[in-house]
Amino acid sequence: MRVLLAATLGLLSLTGTSAGVQRGVRLEDYGLRADEAAPRELPRRLREISGLATTADHRLLAHNDEAGIVFEIDARDGSVVKEFQLADVGDPVADDFEGIAVAEGRIYLVTSAGRLYECREGADGASVLFQVYATGAGRDCEIEGLAYDEGRRELVLMCKNARSDDLLGELAMYRWSIDEKALRERTVVPVADFARRIGANRFQPSGVERHPVSGNWFVVAARQAAIAEVTPEGQVLDVRRFEAPWHRQIEGIAFAPDGALIVADEGGRARGTLTVYPAPEP
């Protein structure tokens, strides 16, 4: 069974305090070296782990693909602390979940069709009610990635592949207002602006997150094993490939309180993994 994971990482104890965060931190400042970070294996039923997000109290949330079951785990050993599900009655809701974000005490999940599920965290063994919103973004793009822009009170939906002719060769970032419950605007970036920097023909996002200090968007692409930094206006600043051999398929991205970079990999036939890369030195 595929699941939605909520992971209690103890991030401050793993990565330090917020003192290490420096203004002007860019993607190029992260080492991303295999010798400075180690993967943490997750239970086998989480082998298709996907999006990541952090809560206001520094817990890490993540999800798999199809079943709205929420797990809280201890990321130091992968053990499950509690679980609850998104459900009206009976079985958990099923959909093609592709991203997660936390906004003002609410958990949001997005599907490849651009549907947003909104719920609150539940107690162990509970079923929680949810709201569903049809954003309309899925008509133009296959959505794969969700993040929250606190300053603008908007969710950002990341396009993976264009579905409409007017977006061929381009990637879009859609902004959805949590107050108006509607799309406000979109930022369009040519695929070539990403791909040419790593000598590729394509760049297919699988996760997105806003850097807590710079405010720029960090975008991971599973098929290209790459990560990009993009300004809010859509300027691509940098694109790099991951080098560690355990990165099978990077699907999720988040930041710890000190600026450490966290990514999640699907495991295929093996276990899913979570990797923490240290924040740049001040």
pLDDT in tens, 157-193: 999 999 999 899 999 999 999 999 999 999 999 999 9
Those residues whose C-beta lies under 8 Å from the C-beta of residue 124, and which sit 6 or more positions away, are 82, 83, 84
- The reply to whether 168 falls in a domain is yes
Give the domain extent around 117.
4-277
| % the chain with pLDDT above 90 | 62
Nearest to 230 by CA among 277, 262, 200, 193: 193
Question: Which residues are registered as beta bridge partners of 11?
Answer: none
To which H or E segment does residue 261 belong?
strand 261-265
The per-residue pLDDT for 1 is 38
The per-residue pLDDT for 4 is 43
pLDDT in tens, 4-13: 444 444 454 4
- The pair of structure tokens assigned to 252 is 């999720």
Instruction: Using DSSP, state whether 105 is helix, strand or coil.
Output: coil
**Mean pLDDT, range 72-86, rounded to an integer:** 72
We report the CATH number of the domain holding residue 226 as 2.120.10.30
First to last CA, the chain: 43
The per-residue pLDDT of the chain, averaged, comes to 87
Q: In this structure, how many other beta carbons lie within 10 angstroms of the beta carbon of residue 86?
A: 25
| pLDDT at position 78 over 90 | no
Handedness of CA 211, 274, 204, 100 (dihedral sign): negative
- The reply to whether 175 falls in a domain is yes
Nearest to 7 by CA among 86, 102, 129: 102
pLDDT in tens, 102-132: 999 999 999 999 999 999 988 888 889 999 9
Overall number of domains in the chain = 1
Nearest to 206 by CA among 277, 100, 60, 58: 100
Instruction: Using DSSP, state whether 89 is helix, strand or coil.
Output: coil
Identity at 26, one-letter amino acid code: R
The per-residue pLDDT for 226 is 97
Long-range contacts of 192-198 (CB under 8 A, 24+ apart): 193/236, 194/219, 194/221, 194/226, 194/228, 194/236, 194/239, 195/224, 195/239, 197/228, 197/236, 197/238, 197/239, 198/224, 198/226, 198/239, 198/240, 198/241
The per-residue pLDDT for 50 is 87
The per-residue pLDDT for 18 is 40
- The reply to whether 282 falls in a domain is no
- The reply to whether 187 falls in a domain is yes
Asked whether 81 and 65 are in contact (CB, 8 A), the reply is: no
- The reply to whether 50 falls in a domain is yes
- The reply to whether 129 falls in a domain is yes
- The reply to whether 102 falls in a domain is yes
